Structure 1
Amino acid sequence: MGVVLSKSLFIKQALLTLVLAIVLSLVSSLIQFIDGVHDQKLHIDKDFDELLAVVEKPLSEAVFRLDIGFAQQQIDSLLLNAAIAHVEVRDESGAVFVQATTTDDDYSVSSEWAEYFLPEIQGYKRQLRLETPEFQAGYLLVLPEKRFLLDTIFKEHLSILIYNLFKDVLLASLISLVFYFLVTNPLKRLTETLSTAGHKEELPLPKSFLRRHKSDELGHLHSTFSQLWNKLNTALSDLERSDSHTKAMIEHAADGILLLDENNKITLVNTAAEVMLKVKGESLQSSSLESLHAASSWGAFYKILNSLKVDSPQTVETLYQIQSAELPVEIRLAKYNIQDKIETLMLIRDVSDRKETEAHIHHLAYYDAVTNLPNRQYLADKLAETLQSQQHGQSYSAVVFMDLDRFKTINDSLGHNVGDQLLCCVASQLASLIEENIVFARMGGDEFAFLLTNLGSDKARVEKAIKGFSESIMYACQQVKKAGRHEVHITASLGATLFDESGYSAEVILKQADTALYRAKEYGRNTFALYKAEMQAVSDARLEMEKALHHATEFKLFELYYQPQTNDKDELIGAEALIRWKDDTKGFIPPDQFIPVAEEIGLIVEIGHWVLNEALSQVATWLKEGKWQPSWRMSINVSPIQFQQAGFLPMLKEQLEKHKVPARCVDLEITENMLLNDLSSCLDKMNAIKSLGVYLSIDDFGTGYSSLKYLKSLPIDRLKIDQSFVRDLLTDKSDEAIVHAVIAMAKALNINVLAEGVETLLHYDRLREINCFYYQGYYFGHPLPPNEFIAAFVHGSATLKPSL
């Protein structure tokens, strides 16, 4: 690398050193000059004192003798000294006796300079007197020639100045040379080395440089440069790797990447963007961003792009126009500032698959998988929207619930596949009746619903229209349906409710429609019911019953009463445990009112568990106290739902072991309807119960689907004739025939028979005549609490006394 003279460090150093040397030399000479002037003043004072001392006496005598010539001669001799400018002698009266002045010569310095440097030297005065005789002769005044004195001083110090200046300049030159060889030249070589070194190369220097400057500042400088150079090489390598890495990530990114300048022009395009947009990068860079967008999406996107702030990323969804199709994309926008330039990064992702998935999920969430109709959630949302937009009194809307009659029977007999086909057939047929203001939805199972909006403000006309609509639905359902290979005949029950203001909630409206549907089914099915306020009272009573039943179950507010069972010899053979519930406000609630509710809401299993535990606990207590005979049976009713539970048999074993009650003291009563669901499973469970030693009875026999087919194969010990047949035994020949048939059938199958509902002596006698020997009813005793039962039917006699 060439050295520019005007910028050479050596020249700068040499000039600076020379100037400093000259300045220092001049300052030193000035100081010496000032000191010399001071010393010269002292010397001048001394010379003048000595000179005046020489002429003092002769001049005193000349004045005493009034010898002017001699006196003039003396002062003229003083003027021979160039340092004296003027001499005068004055007598004692102050008059000039004699005087003399030197001629005005030229000097190298001016009077002003002389006055400036020698201000203290003004003149020398000496008194003239004689000692013998004592005489005051006056005084002698000598004025020095300051220009001569200063000129003499200058000449004396000029040689010193020249000497010092030469010496200092020479020294500065030597220092500059030394600096050049020690600093400038090595630095020059070092910089030349730095300028010629290539990337990833070491800093090559002659060994002489390293040898001479290994331990000095230049060596340390070279070491520092070497470290910095290595760091720079490392940083450059990292930067190159980072740049390559960034390019590779951009190029191989799964998402499309576009980079925009501050004018929103495309400056960078990766391969994924080219593939996604089906355009080459060069074409994209020469086109506008707007050309990528669908016409409907550009305005909103442009507004977001322009309002985007630096370092505030934002994600937007928009539509791109790819050839002739629209492509939904998600774009991550990020605006940033690099080296005072604004850039915008666009990360583009194809979300068409996600949109399809979202649409599929939305369809699954809001549409029924079997019929492809809107589902319950869809209808509830639409109902909520209607309530929000509807204004009071302006127009009525309605919700109609529809339930297919006997669908469960069809589903169970023909199979679920046929049932699903039937649902699809119904949905397809009813869809043709749906108008623009009607939402037709499947609520689940065989239940459908219709939401009819903006029906008008005349309530009577709207009710008539709803009734007509429901009749058209019922008529359509009555038409023969093709389900697979089967022709199916079905009917439908419908319940509807009207509303005309947003004060209702969707839950209340749906509940009202469901209440109306429930009432329609009570009317006999294949009919229509419109919700009335009095229906709600029934529904509220049901809800109140459910709430109270939950409370009673949780806090065990039930009681067990016991009704005696006897034989034809009036002997106690056992008792039936009957649950009783006394509510704080309603008093005793009959089991036939709350047991069906408990079965519907799922509490019957917990209640049944409590009954079994309570009854066995009571039997165990009575056995210990000797109040219960081991041959007596405790009849305990088991709900079909409880019996079908997988854990029923283990629970029964656990209770028997817990209370240590002999199995022969327990008689479980089940209903015959339970056997229709799964005879095989029921038979296995009944055999397992019998293997424990527990007795089994069929309760309410004759009221269900009585069949010899299953009766002959069941391990049962007793049939209980339902009280509805016993009550009219004396007056209804049909009931008497049924009782005769049951007794005869049971005798043939070697099964005992117990008649329920025996209330009079006439009933008792008639049953004995037709060979029924076991009884239960009010004639023998009402159900009583445990202590009262023992007091009434156990203590005091071995035979039971009927109550008259």
Structure 2
Amino acid sequence: MYSTDTSASTNSRAQGSSALSLDLLLSNLPGTVYRCLNDPEWTMEFISAGVEKLTGYPASAFIGEHALSFASLIHPDDRSKVADDTNAAIRDRRSYQLSYRITNAAGQLRWAWEQGAAVYDERGAVVALEGFIADITVVRRADMLALEQASLLDKAHDAIFVMDMSARITYWNRGAERLYGWTAEEARGQHMPDLLCDDHGAYSEAWRQAIEEGEWSGELSQHRRDGSPMQADTRWTVVRSDPVAGVPQKILIISTDISERKSNEARIHRLAYFDALTELPNRASLLDHLRRALVGSARSRKFGALMFCDLDNFKTLNDTHGHAAGDMLLQAVARRLEHSVREADMVARLGGDEFVILVPPEEDTPEAAAHQAETVAAKIVAAMATPFQLADFMYAVSTSVGVTMISGVTDTVESALKQADTAMYQAKAAGRNTFRFFDPDMQAAWSARSELESGLRRALRNHEFMLYYQPQLDGNSRVIGAEALLRWRLPSGEMLYPTEFIKAAEETSLIVDIGRWVLATACAELAGWQRNPATQHLSLSVNVSARQFVEPDFVAMTQEILAATGVDPHGLKFELTETLVVTDFTHTVQTMETLRRLGITFSLDDFGTGYSSLAYLRKLPLDQLKIDYSFMRDVLTDRNDASIVRSIIALGGSLGLQVIAEGVETPGQHAFLSEAGCHGFQGYLYERALSGERFTRYVASVH
């Protein structure tokens, strides 16, 4: 008995402990556990204490004879669906999940989520429903808020999208679909810059600034799905990561299409700063560019130019053919002017038939700027000389150009315009179809140079050039050759030396034509010597300018002259300057090797005055070094000159090259050279340059 009573007592305590544990477990659940009948009222057989937190009613209110019907708490609009979903689950013998609204004891609506299942007896009849009900009001409100926000974002006119830190798109609203043309499904996962951006450099800068500063706003060039371009005003905001919520860092982008606005702005800008007829910059644009050019010039101390161009007799065209023809001419002139200037130069239309060219300040000296301006002005005058095709007739027109130098240090916008205008009227007064400089000194210099160039062209046409030959002697005072020297005899009889005109010729293409004449004349003279037993041993040195030597057809031209004159090229020597050699060393060597195979030899002229280098001397196919007369002048009194001359002679000997000195004028200089090992001489000590006939007589007299 005793043992029996003890066992019953132990079982009773165990059952009580289990009940307490179950109650504690149920009370800690975030909801309520229930068992109810399968009737319309959901009559409760059991419901845990958690129901009070959900409904505001204690669990006891749902149990007993006058129990509260749980079904009565369900919102009327949700009851039929709850019943239908429950019955369908029972019929299919599966569990059910329900979401519905209830009205709590305080009259407030709460959202409930329920999961349950039917309990069947051995015959398969439903005896009860068991399940769990939780309050999901907070979650439901968050979902509703998210849905509302998503709906608002979709209704936004702007494109709104999100990309992750790999620039992959993770969200894409309806506005983005409308703006860009890709659906959200198509856009998600795409690499944003590859999908949208035209300027990846601008995109990279936007990305950098957004990451560094947390946001960025600006304009980006983008394109739509159909490939059409667009300008977008965009704002990027970095949404920082939330480790607690498990949300990674992303970038929110709001993009607005401003293509139409930009187009309108461009149209307004064009109307304000461009001439409608010619599409050239107008007066306002010119003044702005001129002002900025002068400001920049004041800082850099560089020089530029301003030109006024006025069409000569433009009014005649308007009077005879009408304003439509005049407009056509102005448009054609505008295009021709644009093709006559450099890319950096600005062509503008002031109005009527007046055009202006701004040559930006880029030159270090007024002289260099004047030279550049002269080139442009000459091209303009020449370009205008060709008649214009206007509809069904040709029309010839010329232009008068006024040029003034500009510097931000001395000039203003107003003074520059006035000076260019004044110079333009000077050009008209000079006979039109020409250009004039405003500065009197510069105008005089240009006039002198222009006259010189015209004279050089006349000299070529009228055979005013002639060659003189200065003898070259060896150590035994025997004539071994000569150097051909150019002279220009003016119609007045005055004789000009190369120092007075070669520089002007070298600055134009005239030096090429003059050089061709010199070579042809020299070869003809040499061929004559080679037919004369007294002079057939002589060589003839011809100076070749850098401009002529680099001409693509120089070798072919030389071969033509050799063939035409019948000269033996082994007696011909080309004198090249050090400056030419180092300008394009590889090309120079190739050309020299080609000519050397023809039999022509080479002398390095004015050696020691330029970029003397043993490295290039060893690679050049040279035969002779020529000591410049500038070293010979003071060789007996200046230690440096004497040392240089000795070094040149020694260098020539070490390289196996002949050495000849020019400018030898005294016996003392001759003696110095002989003692130093130089045995080639040229200078007034022996003879000045002579005409061909006198040179032949001189050779005969010496021998």
TM band (smaller chain): 0.3 to 0.5
* TM-score when normalising by structure 1: 0.38
- Computing the radius of gyration from Cα coordinates, the structure with the larger value is 1
